[in-house]
Structure 1
Amino acid sequence: MSQHVLPFKTLALAAAIILGLVANAKAQPKLRQHTATTAAQVALTSANRTVPGNKVAITTSGARRIITSNGLPSHAVGSFPNRGNPNRISAQSHRFVVPVSPKVGAARALARGASFGVAINGVPFDPNAAEFWLGNPRSGWDYNALGGAVSLGFDANFAHVQPSGAYHYHGLPVGLMQQLGWSASRPSPLIGYAADGFPIYALNAQVDGQVVRMTSSYQLKPGRRPGGTQPGGPHDGAFKQDYQYVAGSGTLDECNGARVVTADYPRGTYAYFLTDAYPTIPRCLRGTPGQGFGKR
């Protein structure tokens, strides 16, 4: 009976692949095994620490707008690491490229782990959190980052830090809004740019000569979750899947956007709005995403 002996090169390649897979598995952070099903008020740490050295540049080159930054916030932040977030802020090498004149198209869902956009201080907007029911991304139940069911160690800017050291926003960038002179009685100043190039504003817009609070069209689903092998309890906002889009229930579309006239776009533009209710940061785009916003 003959035996088939693999060539040495084949064995070496197989060994290298196995070692690479093992090393990659070790490098991946282990997901937490959450069982919480009840929404709660988000606990925020005071933003009383400064991180010197913010660097950001926004330039245009032909049809492209290029935003480069070190990702260090321009405002005070909370204490990191903290109980809900074990990571320390560090400088990054962000480079985002978006179209100067984006086109409105059909809504496309934001890829899991992708950034929605970047603030004008160079800090990314990341609406989703890598937290799942039972720690399983395939469960179909993603925790709402601002649902309060799990502690994510946010500071008063609704921001925290990735394992890479990247500071990023999950909600209203309060410190930045204060720096920009945001006021409830005036239209929002420009807050940033979405991945497709459309502008981002916060809460307020000018509509027919009046300042209007722009509102989300997402509502909590009625009834209760399935239970059993899935989360139970009422749809209370602990999970993203607790919400559904109800056209016309707010002033904004499914991507938290609307066409408006602003000081930056006096001829009018489609724009996204950060809201004080879910989704706060939009979860879909109406244009084609540019570069630098993929999974980080």
Structure 2
Amino acid sequence: MTTATPTFTADLAGTYTFEVAVSDGIDMTTDQVTVTATTSTTNTDSTDGIECDYSYSEFNESSSVNTTSTSDWTCSDTTRDLVANGIPDHEVGEFPNTANPNTISEQTVSASITLTPNKTDVATTLGGGAGPQGYVLNGVKIDAGTGGSCTDYGDSCSGGDNSGGWNIEALGHTSYDFGADENNAHVQPDGTYHYHGMPEGFITLQGGNSSTMTLIAWASDGFPIYARYGYTDATDSSSALKSITGSYQHISDVSNTRPALDVYEMGTFQQDWEYVEGSGDLDECNGRVGVTPEFPNSIYHYFATDSYPYFQRCVKGEIEGAGAGGPPEGGQPPQ
């Protein structure tokens, strides 16, 4: 008798059922077989050679800054490395301000990001203690969430205590003021200026507009981040550019423990939003696979969007050694 060990390869994870026919040379028997296939890491991309020598050092005359902004990116054989002082290179709003009592100060920014990101099917949440979502080319970090929260029913709310079950968003509502400026950024208690949304001043300095895709940052998993505009057809660089939208919508089933809607409008809390596949252009991490000016053969990439979540809250690439995301936020509740 000859024994055979058949193999089965699947392109997608899932459960497959099929018939197997076996013959002993005389009789033929058939049986149904069920196989469960799993997948892990998928695409590996190289970003080597793209913005590997980005360097900036200029005095920022903004009244809230009045010091030099420095940012240097270099590439080794395997990593993209950043050394910066965290000072923005563009005009900023007034800090301290009524809702944000913190003063911008120089930081020691050092980051090492892979040049060969691996896209997986697993979304890893970043922000807060899990580390920033990425860094804009000017060396300023992306930290899209906040340290603010409310307890059930809104009995207690704080801009610097994230122990409550309702996490307050920095943007997209008027219920709670974190003192963000025109760049959708503000300052943490240790003086760290950071972005919660579209870094308008930096985009302007880069010449970003509706006629081009503008690379503005690198995510912590190594994939690029673009600002606002992308191709209508993600696979066709000759297609028209459009404003890319996230795929999050307000939840329809509002918990009765949520703080009152007449005080905290929908969109105030992270829990007010849910990912609805196909409702926008992007996946749950504000990313998609497609062509870009820097990657004409296609790559997974993220977008900063004018719609929630503004910057990605999770990444699809593998992350090693995520660092601390900085101290809690501060802000003012509704009066």
When normalised by structure 1's length, the TM-score is: 0.79
- Matching residue within 119, 126, 136 for 1:119: 136
Change (3 A) 1:117 1:239: same
Where is the helix percentage greater, Structure 1 or Structure 2?
1
Where is the strand percentage greater, Structure 1 or Structure 2?
2
- Matching residue within 241, 244, 251 for 1:214: 244
**3-state SS, counterpart of residue 115 of structure 1:** coil
- Matching residue within 95, 116, 119 for 2:110: 95
- C-alpha separation in 1, matches of 2:119 and 2:195: 25
> 2:167 aligned with 1:152, yes or no?
no
- Matching residue within 203, 216, 235 for 2:228: 203
After the TM superposition, list the runs of 4 or more consecutive aligned residues in structure 1 that deviate by more than 4 angstroms. Answer: 47-50, 290-293
> 2:233 aligned with 1:233, yes or no?
no
**Is there any run of 5+ residues in structure 2 with no aligned partner, and where?**
1-61, 151-155, 327-335
Where do 1:265-284 residues align within 5 Å? 265-284=295-314
Change (3 A) 1:111 1:65: same
237-246 or 144-153, which moves further after superposition? 144-153
- C-alpha separation in 2, matches of 1:162 and 1:49: 14
When normalised by structure 2's length, the TM-score is: 0.70
- C-alpha separation in 1, matches of 2:323 and 2:70: 18
- Matching residue within 130, 133, 141 for 2:166: 141
Provide the identity percentage. 37
Q: Deviations over 1:32-66 (max 9, x none)?
A: xxxxxxxxxxxxxxx87554311111001111000
Query: What is the root-mean-square deviation of aligned Cα atoms in Å?
Result: 1.8
1:277 is aligned with what amino acid? S
**3-state SS, counterpart of residue 55 of structure 1:** strand
**Is there any run of 5+ residues in structure 1 with no aligned partner, and where?**
1-46
1:196 is aligned with what amino acid? D
Where do 1:1-296 residues align within 5 Å? 51-105=66-120, 106-113=122-129, 114-133=131-150, 134=156, 135=158, 137-146=162-171, 147-184=173-210, 186-206=211-231, 207=233, 208=236, 209=238, 210-227=240-257, 230-233=258-261, 236-290=266-320, 293-296=323-326
Is the Cα contact below 8 Å between 1:96 and 1:291 reproduced in 2?
no
Is the Cα contact below 8 Å between 1:99 and 1:196 reproduced in 2?
yes
Structure showing greater relative contact order (alpha-carbon pairs closer than 8 Å, 6 or more residues apart):
1
Greater radius of gyration (CA): 2
Q: Deviations over 1:136-165 (max 9, x none)?
A: 634321001113321111111111111111
Q: 1:111: Cα distance to partner?
A: 4.5
Is the Cα contact below 8 Å between 2:127 and 2:145 reproduced in 1?
no
